[in-house]
Amino acid sequence: MYNSFYNISQKQYQNNQITFTWFDGTIYNWTIPDGYYSLPDLNIWLQSQFIINKLYCVNSNNSQNIYFVTFQTNSVLYKAQIDVYFMPSSTNATLYGYQIPAGATWTFPSVNTMVRLTINSNLKSYFGTTETTFGIITPAQNMNYLSANGICPVVSPVFSIYLGCNLIVSDFNQIGNLFSQFPISAAYGNLIKIESSIDALISIKEGIYSEILITLWDQDNNALIFNDPEMTCFLIVETND
């Protein structure tokens, strides 16, 4: 099977909502399209929303866009990082070389002012944070928010797959119909290929069956949603005649 499990999904995780408050108090509610996002991917999506809504500045020296919230990976600390920057006053904007982008209707504030980002509570595990709001600081100052101590960001919520089968009942598992378990050994979009030299021999419980039903769950017993249905599974049934 292919590793095709989304990490941002309204149906499965309800973790696709972000609210951004511009320095003038205007609130923007954005929905992240379902998909699999690394932190750089999610940062690119966020920047696209800033560009669409003219919520950025342009550096007069090199014409580069300046964004006031960024997502990045802090690989040194093994954490996710959310950076929030203040909008400079009109006087400071001139000193910094900040310009308002063409087509924007806002003007620089009279004093340095913070912007604010609020994430959906179900998105906290993605960033490994206990907070949902970033940027409430007085006086205004640039802030770097890291994953909380003792909490690792869970960018990939599915890291192991459980196979269940309606023909069996295991006395040695809390999950009674657990047939097999294996880790996801391939990056997103790649083929997960499991080859075992030892067969899993499990007795079939007595009964009359009209079908063999194989179910697949993640490590938290949540039903998996496959975005690529291509799959091959070999099942051997032995009988004593």
| CA dihedral sign, ordered 198, 202, 204, 210 | negative
Domain count, the chain: 2
Q: What is the C-alpha separation between 58 and 39, in angstroms, rounded?
A: 23
129 and 199 housed in the same domain: no
More confident residue, 233 or 157: 157
26 and 141 housed in the same domain: yes
36 and 101 housed in the same domain: yes
The conformation of residue 121, written as its DSSP 8-state character, comes to: G
Contact (Cβ atoms closer than 8 angstroms) between residue 5 and residue 222: no
Average of pLDDT values for 98-113? Answer: 96
pLDDT tens by residue, 22-67: 999 999 999 999 999 999 999 999 999 999 999 999 999 889 999 9
Residue 241: is its pLDDT beyond 70? no
Closest CA to 132 of 28, 6, 19: 19
The pLDDT of residue 39 is 97
The pLDDT of residue 197 is 63
134 and 114 housed in the same domain: yes
Q: What is the C-alpha separation between 114 and 138, in angstroms, rounded?
A: 8
Q: What is the pTM of this model?
A: 0.89
pLDDT tens by residue, 151-172: 999 999 999 999 888 888 777 6
- Residue 1 in any domain: the answer is no
Contact (Cβ atoms closer than 8 angstroms) between residue 103 and residue 54: yes
pLDDT tens by residue, 190-227: 999 887 667 767 788 888 999 999 999 999 888 899 99
CA angle 184, 187, 192 (to 5 degrees): 45
SS3 191: strand
Closest CA to 234 of 185, 207, 203, 199: 199
140 and 165 housed in the same domain: no
Closest CA to 191 of 4, 61, 11: 4
- Residue 215 in any domain: the answer is yes
Domain boundary among 124, 146, 168: 146
Residue 83: is its pLDDT beyond 80? yes
Q: Are strands 98-99 and 57-59 parallel, antiparallel or unpaired?
A: antiparallel
The pLDDT of residue 169 is 78
59 and 173 housed in the same domain: no
Q: Which domain holds residue 113?
A: 17-146
The model's confidence at residue 179, banded by pLDDT at 50, 70 and 90, is confident
